[in-house]
Structure 1
Amino acid sequence: MKNKGPLYVLTCYVIWGLLPIFWKLLAQVDSLYVLASRIVWSMVLTGGILLLRRDRLAGVRAAFQDRREWGLLAAAGCVVCVNWGVYIWAVANGHMIDSSLAYYMNPILAILLGTVLFRERLTKLQWLAVAVTFAGLVITVIRYRQIPWIALVIGGSFAVYGALKKQVRSDAAVSTFVETLTLAPFALVLIFWMEAHGTGAAGVLSGWQWLLLLSVALYGEAFTATHAILFGFVWTGLILYLISGTRESRRHREEEKPCV
């Protein structure tokens, strides 16, 4: 199972890379409606998985009975709701480059958050990675005269989501189900309200397009010199972070080797 880890990670990144194409197909539907649909159908999917594995249902009951656990999962659900919502809106409204930048920034934001919340110690290379990424942001603000808020909100909310999930005891399927089940009533109210007021998917989608509710080269977004500079700094920071992680893993393996 451990050997399949890199394959699972690669598969996840491939799926994430294809997601903008998926959301672009739904650009004609209001982003809030798409978000609400995603919450509901995520709940249905994870609920179905849990029903197939009935041994996990006890974990759902335990999560709801533990106020702290439920509170953390509810908070995580709200934060990832912001993440999903801004991401869907960004892709549908021609900000795909900013949304992709967010996920390159996410590891750096996550380790910075870890130092604040969990007092994790960073290596010199990790601090350098943070500094390089921050320098890229400063240059972007100076050139654009505005903060890249889309990338920061998406990347930052995902980092906060990870910090919250780090504190829960429930496994992935249970935690995702509890998160989406907590938000589902609000999502359903929004769906029915928007349909009743003519701003939902009815009249916009037809036939196979309803099944959709279960970048640059494609959509012609402008990739400016400022984008290139910021991506360069963020990628450099990410590479430094990965090098640091590789060194730490190698060091731990050396320390765990038995003495002969």
Structure 2
Amino acid sequence: MKKGLIYAILAYIAWGLLPVYWKLFGSMLPGEILAHRVIWSFVFMTILLLAGKGQWKAFTQLLTVPRTLLVVATSSLLISANWLIFIWAVNNGHVIETSIGYYITPLFNIMLAVLFLREKPTGAQWVAVGLAAIGVAIATIDYGHFPWVSVSLAASFGLYSLVKKRVAYGASIGLAGETAVVLPLALIYVGYLYATHQATVGTLPAYKLILLLLAGAATAMPLLWFAKAAVRLPLSMLGFIQYIGPSITLLLSVFVFKEKFSPALLASFAFIWSALVVYALASIRTARAAAVQR
């Protein structure tokens, strides 16, 4: 459990600090950043799989099963959309909205479980969803427009998690497969940018270019840490730790990126945080009841 706790904290700290990383490439187009993230993630995962015993064989077998390949392709498109929205939001001054998005993701998962898995949430979980909905409504009024960044991030990652429940392959093989599916699109897009003289990667100073090449490691390592944590920690504990990420992002948005944090937005977060407390307590109660039954 101690190792699992360390892995989980590392994963969520890394995810929380990612806005600082992507801000370094603010001069690039979001699509160009995404394309390089896909390319270098695939390169990094290929190296890891080749170094692991039997991993590359399992990866190639994954891509030969039509049903599994369809699932991988679906999850690939969802996580790519999530990455693109996140990168665009960070580099266009919407970091607070990304924080809201990842705060409400667990509550969005409840709705997906009801719609697609026919699960029956407890009354407390419905209260949590209602409080979060009020928080999003307040944010909508404060922004003057629907917070599509927040909802899109929660929806894309929630659907990604739902699709991942349909498969039984490991995190390394899964990420390699997901990047492999969109790799041709990424290469075509980078080629198009060079052909039309729109590519900006060549204008980056040397240190930023090196950091861009490390985008694969920055993408893969938190996912692999999370996978190691998930098999070592109770779900209720992991649920609490996951809020480290959006909390760090929120602090960065206010104190580092100087985004506007109005009283109305504070009220919005108050409802969202209240929803998370209710959700966490309900999850703990459910976990304890299940343990007693076992």
2:140 corresponding residue in structure 1? 141
1:54 counterpart SS class: coil
CA distance in 1, matches of 2:56, 2:203: 38
1:191 corresponding residue in structure 2? 190
CA distance in 2, matches of 1:25, 1:42: 18
Q: Which amino acid aligns with 1:228?
A: L
Higher relative contact order (CA 8 A, sep 6+): 2
TM-score by length of 1: 0.93
CA contact (8 A) 2:102 2:154 kept: yes
- Residue 3 (structure 1) shift: 4.1
1:38-187 paired onto structure 2 within 5 Å: 38-187=37-186
Coordinate RMSD, CA, aligned: 1.4
- Residue 110 (structure 1) shift: 1.2
Gaps of 5+ in 1: none
CA contact (8 A) 1:69 1:169 kept: no
Alignment pair present for 1:244 and 2:278: no
- Residue 20 (structure 1) shift: 0.6
CA offsets 1:85-132 (integer angstroms, 9 cap, x no match): 010010001111101111101111112111111111211211111111
CA offsets 1:25-52 (integer angstroms, 9 cap, x no match): 1111111100000011111111111101
Alignment pair present for 1:233 and 2:271: yes
Q: Which amino acid aligns with 1:230?
A: S
CA contact (8 A) 2:28 2:201 kept: no
Q: Which amino acid aligns with 2:63?
A: F
2:255 corresponding residue in structure 1? 217
- Residue 201 (structure 1) shift: 2.5
CA distance in 2, matches of 1:202, 1:162: 32
1:30 corresponding residue in structure 2? 29
Gaps of 5+ in 2: 214-252
Q: Which amino acid aligns with 2:166?
A: Q
- Residue 220 (structure 1) shift: 1.1
CA contact (8 A) 1:28 1:204 kept: no
Q: Which amino acid aligns with 2:195?
A: A
Q: Which amino acid aligns with 1:10?
A: I
CA distance in 1, matches of 2:203, 2:258: 24
2:240 corresponding residue in structure 1? none
CA distance in 1, matches of 2:201, 2:44: 23
- Residue 143 (structure 1) shift: 4.3
CA distance in 2, matches of 1:144, 1:93: 15
- Residue 141 (structure 1) shift: 3.1
CA distance in 2, matches of 1:70, 1:213: 28
2:197 counterpart SS class: coil
CA contact (8 A) 2:138 2:265 kept: no
- Residue 197 (structure 1) shift: 2.2
CA distance in 2, matches of 1:150, 1:165: 22
CA distance in 2, matches of 1:231, 1:176: 32
2:229 corresponding residue in structure 1? none
CA distance in 2, matches of 1:7, 1:201: 38
2:121 counterpart SS class: coil
CA contact (8 A) 1:77 1:183 kept: yes
Pick the structure with greater CA Rg. 1
